Chain A
Amino acid sequence: MSGRFDTFGPPPAEPDPWEAATETETADEDGELDPREAASLFEQTTRQAARQFDIQPPLLMFAAAVTVLVAYGAVWLSVRDQHPYSGPSGTALAVLYGTLAVWIVLVTTVLRRALSGRSSRQRLLEGIVFGAIWICVYVFQGALHHTDPDHAIAYGVYPAVAPLIIVGAAVAGYEAAREKRAHAGFAIAVVILGALASFAGPADVWGVTGVGFCILLLIAGVAQLSRRHARA
């Protein structure tokens, strides 16, 4: 290939700094470290690292609360006066999916920043497991479509609460195994909300779930902020 075309190619990859550094530089020697300074340095570094690695920052929880309220609220407004229940309108679904799309972009941005340079074999397996659970939630909804002629379950109660109950239960078990009590407690609260909200019926389940889930996310976000301030 000529140099003219090379101009449009990708920039050459930089060599691994680990390889480049070994032969060219030497380390600075560390000075004396007072125990108090060491404790302060350790706390500060741990706090900064935890913040940079955090995949669920409080801001994301607050954004999730708004997303849930807007998405579920739009569906509830379109179905609240339906007797019999016929399902959300096209506009409501457009708001639901549009809000979810914005949410996915936001989560991807946060995850990309937090997970940059990190590698984990376990995370791939976790991703596969949770991905399979999400897919099964909607495969089951497809089965309900054929067995539920009035759509009150298939497009009412089930899509509103099933993701909360099924995925929430999986998350609760996962977090309990990791001894993350606060996360497991939040997940169980979401499961309980989903189970109780299903009594509201195919229309009002959207409103009850949206408001309830929004409140839980706000509580979780405030709790995260409080823990951060307590450690600071």
Chain B
Amino acid sequence: MTAAELDPLIHAPARLRIVATLAALPDGDALSFTRLQDMLGLTPGNLITHLRKLEDAGYLSTEKTGHGVASRTSVALTHHGRTALDAYTAALRDLLAGL
């Protein structure tokens, strides 16, 4: 196995940190966009673009609550995303074992 075979959607520093952070939550929990941004120290624009890529792949879901200035967006790892992360970490372990 080579590094090129690792899931490219997860194998990027910012997205790996996003997925790892969301995976640390219990199943079914969601995290607000604001707290996720605080924890990762990314700019809103940078974070949102990475989130959209992961959302498009079905790795995470977003939910908006409230209206207007009271609106908040929450992000959660989907079952598909958790499975993809498990596969990624397993592949990473195999890769490191062969080095």
Contact = CB atoms under 8 A, between A and B. Distances in A.
B79 interface: no
B29 A118 contact: yes
Nearest to A42: B20
Interface in A11-65: 12-22, 24-28, 30-31, 33-36, 38-39, 41-42, 45-46, 48-50, 52-53
Contacts, number: 127
A46 B72 CA distance: 25
A24 B43 CA distance: 11
A118 B6 CA distance: 30
B16 A42 contact: yes
Nearest to B28: A122
A16 B25 contact: no
A16 B73 contact: yes
Contacts of B26: 120
Contact of A27 (B45, B71, B96): B45
Nearest to A53: B24
Interface of A: 12-22, 24-28, 30-31, 33-36, 38-39, 41-42, 45-46, 48-50, 52-53, 116-123
